């Protein structure tokens, strides 16, 4: 299972990279805005930090032709850019045109299995079902992921399932059990995945025993 870090902060990417946790990066306009730098500069910096690994950069237009033009400009920034397109009719037109131009796409803001099916048929390289936001309104987000995986397996779609809007390590565990291709994860959730109270207890016990032995 591939881990993408969901951030536009270079320091977070560097720290996650040091730990071997980064197979790619996802960004969005909100994350880019928080970085406080020009949009293209942030994307180029991220791409340089993770050479050869996918970096999702999102368009901000809503018309098909404009999304396509934006996608072409984003793809020029680096050969590892994946153009992020919102799930809508015009978005699907842009996805199809970008695929014909040899540019990879990530269809975002997917909240139903049939949306994911449409994205795959349009030729999306990746599809991003948002599990946390469904959980927020009382719908089990991971059920949608399971359904999308089953649909893609039924018809041998090449589109990768990228689990997004991840809120906890449990989202990652369930995604891995289901066989999702990718999860995009905030750095703080990656850090939470390393923690377990019995691990902390065991480390403390070993160190205490060692210190007692040294005193003797």
Torsion sign, CA atoms 161, 135, 186, 9: positive
The b-or-e profile of 131-167 (16+ CB within 10 A means b, else e) is beebbeeeeebbebbbbbbebbeeeebebbbbbbbbe
Question: Residue 17: how many CA atoms within 13 Å on its side-chain side?
Answer: 16
Q: Which one of the listed residues 84, 96, 121, 188 is annotated catalytic?
A: 84
Q: What are the backbone angles phi and psi of residue 94, rounded to the nearest 5°? A: -65, -40
Q: Which of 162, 130, 155 is nearest to 144 (CA)?
A: 130
Note the residue count of the chain.
Answer: 216
Tell me, yes or no, if 2 is annotated catalytic: no
The residues assigned a catalytic role are: 84
């Amino acid at each position: 299972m591939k881990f993408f870090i969901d951030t536009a902060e270079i320091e977070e990417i560097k720290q996650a990279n040091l730990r071997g946790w980064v197979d790619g990066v996802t960004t969005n306009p909100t994350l880019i805005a928080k970085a406080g730098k020009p949009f293209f500069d942030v994307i180029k910096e991220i791409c340089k930090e993770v050479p050869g690994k996918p970096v999702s950069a999102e368009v901000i237009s809503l018309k098909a032709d404009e999304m396509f033009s934006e996608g072409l400009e984003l793809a020029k920034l680096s050969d590892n850019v994946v153009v992020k397109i919102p799930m809508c009719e015009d978005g699907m037109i842009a996805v199809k045109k970008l695929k014909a131009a040899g540019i990879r796409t990530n269809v975002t803001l997917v909240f139903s299995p049939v949306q994911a099916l449409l994205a795959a048929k349009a030729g999306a390289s990746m599809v991003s079902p948002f599990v946390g936001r469904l959980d927020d309104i009382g719908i089990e987000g991971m059920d949608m992921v399971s359904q999308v995986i089953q649909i893609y397996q039924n018809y041998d779609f090449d589109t990768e399932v990228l689990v997004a809007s991840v809120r906890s390590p449990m989202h990652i565990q369930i995604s891995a059990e289901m066989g999702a291709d990718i999860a995009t994860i905030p750095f703080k959730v990656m850090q939470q995945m390393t923690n377990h109270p019995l691990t902390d207890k065991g480390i403390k016990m070993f160190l205490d025993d060692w210190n007692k032995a040294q005193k003797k």
